[in-house]
């Protein structure tokens, strides 16, 4: 995701410095016009806008607050944007840390996959100060087809977790349905035509059912990261006294797929353990 976003910024003429924990992933950007930094601190030192896109709370904390973290070098007035899918608690903690450094903060996670990132067709769902969003809008616009302002800090992170838990539940339900179709001996193509052409046929169901039946588990959305997102959503729901029963059931399906070796594959691979009779 971060690579696609970075290339959209370069394509739109923004001067860019990149950092990745894997030097192999960051290296190619030097030939594309970016400066490759040796640490988050180095990357942030001269930046007006600092963007993080990593896997989880732990990775984000290390990037921002670690020994060579970005905040150690962030300039007063810099806009710091957390685009990762993380907990609301971490977003609020980071916002306070940024403010203490004299910076401005947005939580701006995205909807869309790697293909959307590469095409500049992400949707940013943003929490934070509206005036800060206007400062950062040209940067976000270069990577997106839509920018939706949700409200105060944490709003974007909360809606992203809600969005992803609904997606995770859909994918788990689809996998169970497909296993039921295959175990029953029904004509799979015709049965799926009914599902994808009718009320259940969301864009996600259509896309993932095609991957499940090909099968093609090349990662668009890593299965283990969906499990992480479901876990985060369940935690946030509990804080609001909302028990996410469907998310909990879906998480069990994803955890079963991880336990059987599918964690680094696309979310569509959740179906594989269910296929075994």
| Domain extents in the chain | 2-152, 158-275
For tokens 């859909």, name the residue. Answer: 170
Q: What is the pTM of this model?
A: 0.95
- How far apart, in whole angstroms, are the C-alpha atoms of residue 192 and residue 207? 12
CATH topology of domain 2-152: Rossmann fold (3.40.50)
pLDDT at 27: 87
pLDDT at 277: 63
pLDDT at 249: 98
Q: For the CA atoms of 148, 121, 79, 42, what is the dihedral angle to 10 degrees? A: 160
Nearest CA-CA partner of 99 in 73, 123, 76: 76
Domain 158-275 has CATH 1.10.1040.10: yes
Q: Name the burial class of residue 202, with classes exposed (0-12), middle (13-18) and buried (19+) by CB atoms within 10 angstroms of its CB.
A: middle
Active site residue 277: no
How do the pLDDT tens digits run along the chain, 277 residues long? Answer: 999 999 999 999 999 999 998 888 888 999 999 999 999 999 999 999 999 999 999 999 999 999 899 999 999 999 999 999 999 999 999 999 999 999 999 999 999 999 999 999 999 999 999 999 999 999 999 999 999 999 999 999 999 999 999 999 999 999 999 999 999 999 999 999 999 999 999 999 999 999 999 999 999 999 999 999 999 999 999 999 999 999 999 999 999 999 999 999 999 999 999 997 6
- How far apart, in whole angstroms, are the C-alpha atoms of residue 192 and residue 48? 49
**Per annotation, catalytic residue among 114, 145, 160, 206:** 160
**CA angle, residues 67, 75, 71, in degrees to nearest 5:** 25
pLDDT at 22: 86
């Amino acid at each position: 995701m971060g690579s696609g976003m970075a290339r959209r910024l370069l394509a739109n003429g923004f001067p860019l410095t990149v950092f990745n924990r894997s030097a192999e992933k960051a290296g190619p950007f030097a030939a594309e016009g970016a400066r490759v930094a040796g640490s988050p601190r180095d990357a942030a030192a001269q930046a007006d806008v600092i963007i993080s896109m990593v896997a989880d709370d732990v990775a984000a904390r290390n990037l921002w607050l670690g020994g060579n973290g970005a905040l150690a070098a962030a300039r007063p007035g810099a806009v710091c944007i957390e685009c990762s899918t993380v907990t609301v608690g971490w977003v609020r903690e980071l916002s306070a840390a940024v403010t203490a450094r004299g910076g401005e903060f947005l939580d701006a996670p995205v909807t869309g996959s790697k293909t959307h990132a590469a095409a500049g067709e992400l949707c940013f769902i943003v929490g934070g100060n509206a005036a800060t969003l206007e400062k950062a809008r040209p940067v976000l616009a270069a990577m997106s087809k839509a920018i939706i302002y949700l409200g105060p800090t944490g709003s974007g992170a909360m809606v992203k977790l809600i969005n992803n838990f609904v997606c995770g539940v859909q994918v788990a339900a689809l996998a169970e349905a497909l296993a039921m179709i295959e175990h029953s001996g029904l004509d799979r193509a015709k049965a799926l035509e009914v599902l994808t052409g009718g009320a259940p046929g969301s864009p996600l169901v259509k896309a993932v059912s095609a991957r499940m039946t090909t099968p093609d588990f090349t990662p668009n959305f890593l299965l283990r990261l969906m499990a992480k997102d479901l876990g985060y959503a369940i935690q946030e729901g509990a804080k609001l006294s909302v028990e996410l029963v469907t998310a909990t059931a879906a998480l069990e399906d994803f955890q079963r797929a991880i336990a059987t070796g599918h964690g680094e594959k696309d979310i569509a691979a959740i179906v594989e353990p269910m296929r075994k009779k």
